[in-house]
């Protein structure tokens, strides 16, 4: 049951800025067990977002290996990687990143489009997810017609569209008022507790770590401390 779903094997990420090489990750080792709630804490510039992007295969490491559900993702081509990402990982961003031209249902259904789910099932599942997250009255609203908290809940619904095993949340409360932030964190907690999702939360907000089971402190591209709750 407690198998590793994510494993980072001395992962380096070096950005080239003109002639200067700026390392964002310096040999990061990390394993995340299935069903775990992990918080990655660190100041800005510590490489925590970079690490999360690597895990979600949005970015490629300069050096090192990343395994997602046992698959070395550096061996996959663009198309397979996209498919895997769409199936296994759900992203929640600080700035929501919803598609402005699509309504709530359309946004939630979008990941299913790329997995070839039929239109009927897409819409049905999208509606169910939105209703479950308390947005039953906002189904046909465009992102611009929704509050920040509502937008983030649409984004959470979207991250769940293909029923992924891993939810990656990058400062999900960063753009929200405290009440909405709290709601979002409760939802994440429930996803972890009730649906046994693996949740990785990246934040610099100490208050949020109480939802997690394990905290990794990141500094200058390396984990400097790990703490179990």
Quote the radius of gyration of the chain (alpha carbons, Å): 17
Instruction: Record the tokens describing residue 122, joined without a space.
Output: 């897409």
Site for another protein in 15-44 (CB under 8 A): none
- Which helix H or strand E contains 83, and what residues bound it? helix 78-88
Query: Cβ(90)–Cβ(164) under 8 Å?
Result: yes
Task: Select 25 or 215, whichever has its Cβ closest to another protein.
Answer: 25
Residue 142 C-beta: closest distance to another protein, Å: 8
Greatest pairwise CA separation for the chain in angstroms: 53
Angle at 211 between CA 24 and CA 164, to 5 degrees: 70
Smaller CB separation from another protein, 215 or 221: 221
H or E segment to which residue 125 belongs: helix 119-132
Q: What residues between 189 and 208 interact with another protein by CB under 8 A?
A: none
4-17 vs 63-68, strand pairing mode: antiparallel
Nearest to 157 by CA among 135, 130, 138, 139: 130
Nearer to another protein, 146 or 161 (CB): 161
Question: Which of 55, 161, 176, 216 is close enough to bind another protein by CB under 8 A?
Answer: 161
What is the distance between the alpha carbons of residues 151 and 144, in angstroms, rounded to a whole number? Answer: 9
Nearer to another protein, 144 or 178 (CB): 144
Q: Which stretch binds another protein (CB under 8 A): 109-117, 128-136, 146-154, 219-227?
A: 109-117
Nearer to another protein, 138 or 158 (CB): 158
Are β-strands 71-72 and 89-92 bridged in parallel, bridged antiparallel, or unpaired?
unpaired
Query: Quick one: which segment of 4-12, 55-63, 124-132, 194-202 binds another protein (CB under 8 A)?
Result: 55-63
- 101: contact with another protein by CB under 8 A: yes
Three-class secondary structure of residue 185 per DSSP: helix
The nearest distance, CB 155 to another protein, in angstroms, is 10
Taking the complex as a whole, how short is the minimal distance between the CB of residue 14 and another protein, in angstroms? 14
Tell whether residue 113 is a contact of another protein (CB under 8 A): yes
Residues in touch with another protein (CB under 8 A): 53, 56-60, 78-79, 82-83, 85-87, 91, 93, 97-102, 106, 110-111, 113-115, 119, 142, 158, 161-162
């Amino acid at each position: 049951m407690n198998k590793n779903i994510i494993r980072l094997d001395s992962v380096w990420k070096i950005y080239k800025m003109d002639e200067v090489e700026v390392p964002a990750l310096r040999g990061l080792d990390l394993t995340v067990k299935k069903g775990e709630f992990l918080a990655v804490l660190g100041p800005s510039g510590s490489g925590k977002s970079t690490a999360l992007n690597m895990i979600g295969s949005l970015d490629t490491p300069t050096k090192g290996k990343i395994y997602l559900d046992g698959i070395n993702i550096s061996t996959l081509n663009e198309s397979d990687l996209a498919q895997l990402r769409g199936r296994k990982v759900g992203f929640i961003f600080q700035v929501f990143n919803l598609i402005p031209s699509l309504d709530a249902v359309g946004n939630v259904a979008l990941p299913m489009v790329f997995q070839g789910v039929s239109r009927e099932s897409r819409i049905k599942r999208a509606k169910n997810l939105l209703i479950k997250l308390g947005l039953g009255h906002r189904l046909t609203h465009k992102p611009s017609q929704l509050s920040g908290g509502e937008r983030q809940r649409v984004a959470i619904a979207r991250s769940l569209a293909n029923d992924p095993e891993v939810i990656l949340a990058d400062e999900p409360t960063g753009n929200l008022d405290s009440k909405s932030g709290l709601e979002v964190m409760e939802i994440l907690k429930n996803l972890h507790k009730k649906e046994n999702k693996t949740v990785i939360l990246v934040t610099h907000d100490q208050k949020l770590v109480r939802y997690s089971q394990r905290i990794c402190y990141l500094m200058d591209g390396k984990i400097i401390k790990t703490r179990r709750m």
